[in-house]
Amino acid sequence: MAISLQHVKSAVSPADAPSRRLSVVDSSLAPRIWSTVQRVFGGPGGHTCDLMALDSNAQRDNNGIPLPHITPVPTPQANVVNFFTQDIARVKGSVFESCYVFPPFLLICPVLKFLREQKARCTIVVRDRYPRPYWWPILRSECSLQLRLAVQGDVDVLPRPGKDGFVDYGPIPWDLWAFRVCFDC
């Protein structure tokens, strides 16, 4: 039996469909918002890692270089894979010293639980929607600093992937907050 290879265009290959799907979940903070987060929460040197990112949306350090970041699957620029398998508490003085995370909204509670277990210090960005979720009081009680980054209706806050690069998400339907949590303090 001979094997024959044929070229199938990506546009018609069902196997390639997931790689062509763009998702609002892959949004990132706009540069002006990120600059505020860096200045207010990052300390003198800024944040040292992005705990949940893709190569395309990892935040940048104060020199414009993508932060070391953790991706959900192996990628060319990822430093580490799978946030929930890391041992952040035991690597003090490393890249995990001043962490930043902007988790998908459905993962905020598991992220908070993991950060608490790890006794981590981290800047976390979340949406504020009514009714407030059950994790909101936990987040507020563990934070040392908080800042509303944007209010409902603001634009140019969350660029999302588009076919020609990142495009404006449009008016956001909720407020956006950043908190500095410290579970080892």
Both tokens assigned to 178: 């950043």
- Is 153 inside any structural domain? yes
- What total of structural domains would you count in the chain? 1
Confidence of residue 180 (pLDDT cuts 50, 70, 90): very high
pLDDT at residue 7 greater than cutoff 80:
no
For 45, 106, 181, the CA distances from 118, given in Å and listed in that order, are: 23, 20, 12
Q: Which of 46, 41, 36, 84 is nearest to 68 (CA)?
A: 46
Q: Within a domain: residue 19?
A: no
Considering the domain boundaries, does residue 58 fall inside one? Answer: yes
Exposed/middle/buried for 100, CB within 10 Å: 0-12, 13-18, 19+?
A: buried
Can you spell out the DSSP letters for 31-97? Answer: HHHHHHHHHHHS-TT---EESS--TTT--B-TTSPBPPBEESS--TT-SEE-GGG--GGG-TTSGGG
Which tens digit of pLDDT belongs to each residue from 46-75? 999 999 998 889 999 999 999 999 999 888
Banded model confidence at residue 79, pLDDT cuts 50, 70, 90: confident
Q: Is residue 18 part of a domain?
A: no
Closest CA to 122 of 63, 76, 70, 75: 70
**Tokens 């960005």 sit on residue:** 125
Check pLDDT > 80 for residue 122.
yes
The answer to whether residue 90 scores a pLDDT higher than 90 is no
In this structure, what token pair is assigned to residue 20? 């062509």
| Token output for 107 | 């993962």
- Are the beta carbons of 95 and 121 closer than 8 angstroms? no
What pLDDT is recorded for position 109? 93
* 5 occurs within a structural domain: no
- Assigned domain for 35 exists: yes
Does 92 score more than 60 pLDDT?
no
CA–CA gap between residue 112 and residue 135 (Å, rounded)? 8
| 93 has pLDDT over 60 | no
In this prediction, residue 20 carries a pLDDT of 57
Provide the 10 A C-beta neighbour count for residue 179: 20
Residue with tokens 């990892």: 58
Chain segment 138-176, per-residue pLDDT in tens: 899 999 999 999 999 999 999 887 777 778 888 999 999
Any domain includes 131: yes
Is residue 117 included in any domain, yes or no? Answer: yes
Alpha-carbon distances, residue 37 vs 3, 47, 73, 104, 143 (angstroms):
55, 9, 26, 18, 15
- Kindly report the CATH number assigned to the domain that includes residue 142: 3.40.50
Residue 3: what pLDDT? 79
Domain that holds residue 102: 24-182
Average pLDDT, integer, range 30-54: 93
The Cα-based distances of 105 to 95, 108, 139, 179 in angstroms read 24, 6, 14, 15
